[in-house]
A and B are shown apart, each in its own frame.
Chain A
Amino acid sequence: MSDTVISVEGLAKRYLVGHQAARGEHYETLREAVTRGVRRFGRTALDMARGRQIIQGDTVEEFWALKDLSFEIKRGEVVGVIGRNGAGKSTLLKILSRITEPTRGKVSIRGRVASLLEVGTGFHPELTGRENIYLNGAILGMTRREIKAKFDEIVDFAEVEKFLDTPVKRYSSGMYVRLAFAVAAHLEPEILVVDEVLSVGDAEFQRKCLGKMKDVSAGQGRTVLFVSHNMPSVQQLCTSGLMLSHGTALYRGPIDGTIAQYMSSLDQTSRQELRSRKDREGDGRLRVVDVSFHDEKGNHVETAICGQPLRVRIHYESQYDGQEVPVDVAFNLRSNNGILLTCFANMQTGAERLAVHRRGYFECLWPKVNLRSGSYMSTLFVGVEEQTADWIQNAFQIPVEDGNFFGTGRLVTRDHGDLVMDQVWTGAPA
């Protein structure tokens, strides 16, 4: 049966957010503080009299988390919902699971929805594992009978038999998550909505959970909406995808196409000049304006070459003037399908204080690039004096070409994974 179970038409959701006025550098006088306070009180009192929401801050702005979103989902589909942070994924799930109401538009849902936006919702630390299974089950919409019938299966899945009658506040975090997920995994709704909950728990347990979810969807023809940033698990689990960007659907189709679309959208943003990127966090005491790559001698290069040294220069502008201060510069590398490969950070090498100039660059020397050809996405973080100064998701990419890594004259190529490791082989008699 391939009928529509969820249909969304012109969905929009507005939030009101308040901003603190920037106070800049100068100190506020008492008079300024008082007038600001009075003005703010006047506004909140007026809001309250009109029965409106009170918003903290000096100015109020509308923010559309979703705008004009339409799509349909058929019975038995497992849909991966992907998109960058702030694309509206979580808002969509909240509307579908009836936690919040849309501002405009219409959603029709046929069937019982269970949502799993967090593992262990409503777990009470003072209660025992056994009591929490019933509590959490009831919160997720299971009946007492259903829970009783599946109780042993849940305990088995969570591997917590010995601690069933211990308050969960004595559990290790791993046990806690396993128990919480075990309850959720045994939900049997017609439509299951899952937010990024698999990111907790160890790899082994994640695999187990994915397997369980796959069984649920494939075996019993249930519809699943799955939000994750973990592309491998999305790819493994989902049959189709929905990509959101700035609150609207950018792509709806087979999962491979969706992931490709997502990856290329990451590329596009990262090609934007860093200087003009707006989606950054931090207090701006130091701003990264560009990232460049150089060879061993310092000559500018466009791509890194496998096996060769690479200098990554992070150019910035700052409010400092040559002082040596505690600096925390870090960038990570993600492979094409979104797997986090590694992280480069000055802190881990012990170089914790660096001179910071009005304009300058931090340089990271990577003595031997051990990536196979491809493009690697990087998120960039700079902290100065223990405060986040600049933090840009997917700030730049490092393009890598195949190279003569082992010095044998043979190229190492892509088919064997992303990483190349230095290695020494010998043979010996037993």
Chain B
Amino acid sequence: MTIESHEIVLEAGRAERNYWRDLWRYRELFQVLAGRDVAVRYKQTVIGIVWAVMRPFLTMLIFTIIFSRIAKLPSEGEAPYALMVLAGLLPWTFFSTALGDASLSLVTNSNLISKVYFPRLIIPTATIVVSFVDLLISFVILVAMMVWYRFAPTVNILALPFFVVLAFLTSLGPGLWITALNVKYRDFRYIIPFMLQFGLYVSPVGFSSTAVPEQWRLLYSLNPMVGVIDGFRWCILGGNSHIYWPSLASTVVITVFFLWLGIRQFRKMEKTFADLI
């Protein structure tokens, strides 16, 4: 940290001038907190990090059985159904754990918030990083499955990092918004698990979004996860999947909107967190 003497003025309702610079100065705390959450996540579990792989893998099995074998829904192009499910499940699992954990993050870290100052944005963001690490680990099953099905990726795979970042931002925006509100109104704690459960069936996780009738497709794209999941499938399944541009565009717009809303709400309430928590 810099040693230069700087003057801080604390006044009611005064916006922090150096907020973003402050955030940068506290980057080490960000690393440490994220590192802590990652280190603690699988402590005192028997199979440890394998949990990160197990959960999407088992869900994939069940979804493949239900949606492909029982409901007889079509896959995308020639791609194996299981692979298609997995390509959608990875971003969804990331989104739901990230959003779920982030929205509770401020309240679970209330001891820090009421005892020490730092830019509070660090907490929800560091929480999302933990789910992000899980996502990276679960790419292992993706690779294993592709080898199993002898399914070679195309050049589309190079666009995957873009969609990974998009998934990150898509969960960050609502995460910030809800975690700030959850400090004041604990109702969100009950709303979120419900919303996420609901979202799993509303989003094209177990089935392809091509299964949605054409006239509803645009409306369906208002769910920002549709664009993210379609994007993942396009990258992973290559030529078997087609990008539906309106849904990608709406995802980007909605993500930006929620980021703006989330950061605004968060900044507005940030200074009162310690009093309310």
Name A's B-contacting residues (CB within 8 A).
15, 48, 53-54, 94-113, 115, 117-118, 121-122, 124, 126-127, 131, 134-135, 138-144, 190
Name the A residues within 8 Å of B78 (CB-CB): none
Is A108 in contact with B115, judged by CB distance below 8 angstroms?
A: no
Name the A residues within 8 Å of B240 (CB-CB): none
Which residues 182-222 in B have Cβ within 8 Å of A in the complex? 184-185
Which stretch (B36-44, B145-153, B170-178) binds chain A? Answer: B36-44
Task: State which of B5, B28, B111, B275 has its C-beta within 8 Å of the C-beta of A110.
Answer: B5
Name the B residues within 8 Å of A135 (CB-CB): 32-33, 36
Is B5 in contact with A111, judged by CB distance below 8 angstroms?
A: yes
Is A98 in contact with B12, judged by CB distance below 8 angstroms?
A: no
Name B's A-contacting residues (CB within 8 A).
1, 3, 5-13, 28-29, 31-33, 36, 39-40, 43-44, 111-118, 184-185, 271-272, 274-276
Name the A residues within 8 Å of B116 (CB-CB): 97, 99, 115, 117, 121-122, 139-140
With the chains together, A397 CA to B170 CA distance in Å? 64
Is A101 in contact with B7, judged by CB distance below 8 angstroms?
A: no
Give the distance to chain B from A217, nearest Cβ to Cβ, in Å.
18
With the chains together, A121 CA to B33 CA distance in Å? 13
With the chains together, A276 CA to B1 CA distance in Å? 53
Q: Interface residues of B: mostly helix, strand, loop or mixed? A: mixed
Name the B residues within 8 Å of A138 (CB-CB): 28-29, 31-33
Pairs across A and B, CB under 8 Å, 28 listed: A99-B117, A100-B272, A105-B11, A105-B12, A106-B9, A106-B11, A107-B11, A109-B7, A109-B9, A109-B10, A110-B8, A111-B6, A112-B1, A112-B6, A113-B117, A117-B116, A121-B116, A122-B111, A124-B36, A126-B39, A127-B40, A135-B33, A135-B36, A138-B28, A138-B33, A141-B118, A143-B1, A144-B28
Task: State which of B10, B28, B113, B185 has its C-beta within 8 Å of the C-beta of A102.
Answer: B10
With the chains together, A126 CA to B45 CA distance in Å? 12
**CB within 8 Å for A126 and B43 given contacts A53-B276, A97-B117, A106-B11:** yes
Is B10 in contact with A54, judged by CB distance below 8 angstroms?
A: no
**CB within 8 Å for A95 and B10 given contacts A121-B111, A126-B44:** yes
With the chains together, A102 CA to B272 CA distance in Å? 10
With the chains together, A108 CA to B218 CA distance in Å? 54
Name the A residues within 8 Å of B44 (CB-CB): 126
**CB within 8 Å for A98 and B117 given contacts A106-B10, A108-B7:** yes
Name the B residues within 8 Å of A127 (CB-CB): 36, 39-40
